[in-house]
């Protein structure tokens, strides 16, 4: 899409001046986009005094979460209000790194921000992994950066990496996805492989959550209440104040926060790896 000709963007949703249906662009039956442009840079000044400014995006996405299998948020290359909003609205995030000096310097501040958001704003947020982009492993520098990431994120670095490919830049310049622009390009091949790897990883997480949900539901009601009470105490005071009845929370974000803490307790009682090994054997 042409960012300059947009009549409605994500900023209008933040301002409550347009509805979701007025803003969303339906690129295909399986891909919908909430567009953005340079006007979004004004969001920090517009909402500087808003008490809930860190939750603007979460509140926008809340009514439509159940309509989509995945909601992907492309963050700006800084740690401003928009990035904080993205982390506060998400259940997991992928750290995208190019093998260059300055992107590598940004890893620690971003990781520190993740821990801050998880502690104060979003207990459901999980760091999923590191994806390398714009890679050219014919160069020594790219190889060295890969080695550094493997050392610091031994179990979190995705096997898939995105190679340097001119088709990716060309696709972005004409407002198309790489699969629309050149589906046979190396860029399309790499991103397809990454999507498949990400979904496999995601499915493992879902299976683990389902296991703990079934174990929880099998417990007597009194034990369920006791576990929820312990889980609630592990949440921040800000969240606890908003929870009147732990057994019947309507807000999906608060509910997910409580489930995360509940599953930590269940994991100590019913280790998932033992259950998995028993199934395999």
Q: What is the pTM of this model?
A: 0.75
Q: What is the pLDDT along the chain (281 residues), one digit of tens a residue?
A: 666 677 888 888 888 888 999 999 898 888 899 988 887 777 777 777 777 888 889 988 988 888 898 999 998 777 888 899 999 999 899 999 988 766 677 788 888 898 899 888 888 888 999 999 999 988 988 888 899 899 888 889 999 999 999 999 999 888 888 999 999 999 999 999 999 999 888 888 788 888 888 888 888 888 888 888 888 887 766 566 666 666 666 666 677 777 878 888 888 888 765 444 333 33
The distance of Cα 21 from the centroid of its chain, to the nearest Å, equals: 23
8 Å CB contact between 87 and 57: no
List Cβ<8 Å contacts ≥24 apart for 213-220. 215/266, 215/269, 215/270, 216/262, 216/266
Interhelix angle 166-173/186-217, nearest 10 degrees: 80
| C-alpha to C-alpha distance for 252 and 230, rounded to whole angstroms | 19
Q: Are 85 and 56 in contact (CB under 8 A)?
A: yes
Q: List domains and CATH numbers for the chain.
A: 3-209 (3.40.50.300), 219-280 (no CATH)
13 Cβ contact list (under 8 Å, min separation 6): 20, 23, 34, 60
């Amino acid at each position: 899409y042409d960012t300059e000709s947009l009549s409605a963007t994500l900023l209008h949703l933040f301002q409550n001046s347009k509805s979701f249906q007025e803003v969303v662009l339906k690129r295909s039956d399986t891909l919908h986009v909430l567009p953005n442009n340079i006007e979004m840079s004004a969001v920090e000044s517009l909402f500087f005094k808003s008490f809930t400014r860190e939750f603007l995006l979460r509140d926008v996405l809340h009514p439509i979460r159940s309509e989509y299998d995945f909601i992907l948020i492309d963050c700006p290359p800084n740690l401003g209000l928009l990035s904080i909003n993205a982390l506060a609205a998400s259940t997991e995030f992928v750290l995208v790194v190019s093998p260059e000096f300055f992107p590598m310097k940004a890893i620690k501040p971003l990781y520190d921000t993740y821990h801050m958001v998880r502690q104060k704003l979003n207990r459901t947020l999980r760091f999923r992994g590191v994806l390398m982009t714009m890679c050219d492993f014919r160069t020594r520098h790219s190889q060295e950066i890969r080695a550094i990431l493997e050392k610091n994120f031994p179990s979190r670095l995705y096997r898939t990496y995105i190679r340097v490919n001119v088709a990716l830049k060309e696709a972005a310049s004409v407002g198309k996805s790489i699969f629309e622009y050149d589906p046979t390009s190396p860029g399309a091949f790499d991103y397809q492989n990454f999507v498949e790897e990400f979904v496999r990883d995601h499915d493992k997480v879902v299976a683990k959550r389902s296991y703990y949900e079934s174990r929880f539901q099998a417990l007597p009601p009194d034990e369920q209440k006791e576990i929820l009470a312990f889980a609630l105490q592990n949440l921040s005071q800000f969240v606890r104040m908003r929870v009147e009845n732990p057994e019947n929370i309507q807000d999906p974000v608060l509910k997910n926060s409580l489930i995360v803490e509940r599953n930590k307790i269940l994991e100590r009682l019913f280790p998932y790896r033992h259950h998995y090994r028993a199934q395999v054997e």
